[in-house]
Structure 1
Amino acid sequence: MTKLKQTTGFKKMIAPYEKSSILKSVWQIFNTFTPFFVLWYAAYWCLSISYWLTLVLTIVTAGLLVRIFIIFHDCCHGSFFANRTANEIVGTIAGILTCSPFYQWRFSHSVHHATNGNLDRRGTGDIWTLTVQEYLDLPWQKRLGYRLYRNPLILFVLAPIYVFLIEYRFNRKEAKIRERLNTYTINLGIAALAALLCWIVGWKAFLLVQGPTFLISGVAGFWLFYVQHQFEHSYFERNENWSYVDAALHGSSFYQLPKVLQWFTGNIGYHHIHHLSPRVPNYYLEQAHVENPMFQSSHPVTLLSSLRSIHFRIWDEHRKKLLGFGYIKRFKMEQNKRKSA
Structure 2
Amino acid sequence: MAGLVLSGSGIKPLPQSLAAPTKRFTHNPSNIILLRSKDPIFSSRTTNLDGFSKWAVRVSAPFRIPSIDEQDLERERISLFDAGSPPPFKLADIRAAIPKHCWVKDPWRSMSYVVRDVAIVLGLAAAAAHLNNWLLWPLYWAAQGTMFWAIFVLGHDCGHGSFSNNPKLNSVVGHLLHSSILVPYHGWRISHRTHHQNHGHVENDESWHPLTEKTFKSLDWMTRTLRFTLPFPMLAYPFYLWNRSPGKSGSHFDPSSDLFVPVEKKDVITSTICWATMLALLFGLNFVVGPIQMLKLYGIPYLINVMWLDFVTYLHHHGHEDKLPWYRGKEWSYLRGGLTTIDRDYGWINNIHHDIGTHVIHHFFPQIPHYHLIEATDAAKPVLGKYYREPKKSTPLPFHLLSELITSLKNDHYVSDTGDVLYYQTDPKLSGKK
TM-score w.r.t. length of structure 2: 0.66
Separation in 1 of the partners of 2:121 and 2:241?
A: 19
Q: 1:328 to 1:38 in 2, by over 3 A?
A: closer
Identify the residue that residue 117 of structure 2 maps to in structure 1: 32
Separation in 1 of the partners of 2:172 and 2:421?
A: 46
Identify the residue that residue 156 of structure 1 maps to in structure 2: 234
User: How far is 1:131 from its partner?
Assistant: 4.1
User: 1:325 aligned to 2:408?
Assistant: no
Identify the residue that residue 17 of structure 2 maps to in structure 1: none
Whether contact under 8 Å (1:290, 1:296) holds in the other structure is no
Separation in 2 of the partners of 1:287 and 1:82?
A: 21
Identify the residue that residue 11 of structure 1 maps to in structure 2: 95
Separation in 1 of the partners of 2:168 and 2:345?
A: 33
Identify the residue that residue 303 of structure 2 maps to in structure 1: 215
Whether contact under 8 Å (1:65, 1:98) holds in the other structure is yes
Identify the residue that residue 414 of structure 2 maps to in structure 1: 314
Identify the residue that residue 273 of structure 1 maps to in structure 2: 361
Deviations 1:56-94 (A, max 9, x none): 112111111111100111101111111110000000001
Separation in 2 of the partners of 1:173 and 1:202?
A: 36
Identify the residue that residue 198 of structure 1 maps to in structure 2: 286
Corresponding letter in the other structure for 2:207: D
SS at match of 2:415: strand
SS at match of 2:424: strand
User: How far is 1:255 from its partner?
Assistant: 0.7
Deviations 1:117-160 (A, max 9, x none): 112424xx31241245x468x44x55764443233332113x23
RMSD: 3.2
Identify the residue that residue 338 of structure 1 maps to in structure 2: none
Separation in 1 of the partners of 2:162 and 2:378?
A: 20
Corresponding letter in the other structure for 1:6: K
TM-score w.r.t. length of structure 1: 0.82
Alignment of 1:252-267 (within 5 A): 252-258=341-347, 260-267=348-355
Corresponding letter in the other structure for 1:162: F
Deviations 1:304-340 (A, max 9, x none): 25333332223366995334322999xxx9xxxxxxx
Greater Cα radius of gyration, structure 1 or 2: 2
Question: Identity of paired residues, percent?
Answer: 19
SS at match of 1:85: helix
User: 1:299 aligned to 2:389?
Assistant: yes
Q: 1:142 to 1:119 in 2, by over 3 A?
A: same
User: How far is 1:20 from its partner?
Assistant: 0.9
Q: 1:131 to 1:54 in 2, by over 3 A?
A: same
Deviations 1:238-273 (A, max 9, x none): 220112122213x21111221x11122221111111
- Whose helix proportion is higher, 1 or 2? 1
Runs of 5+ in structure 2 lacking a partner?
1-84, 244-250, 393-397
Separation in 2 of the partners of 1:147 and 1:172?
A: 31
Q: Which has the higher contact order (CA 8 A, sep 6+)?
A: 1
Separation in 1 of the partners of 2:317 and 2:86?
A: 25
User: How far is 1:216 from its partner?
Assistant: 0.8
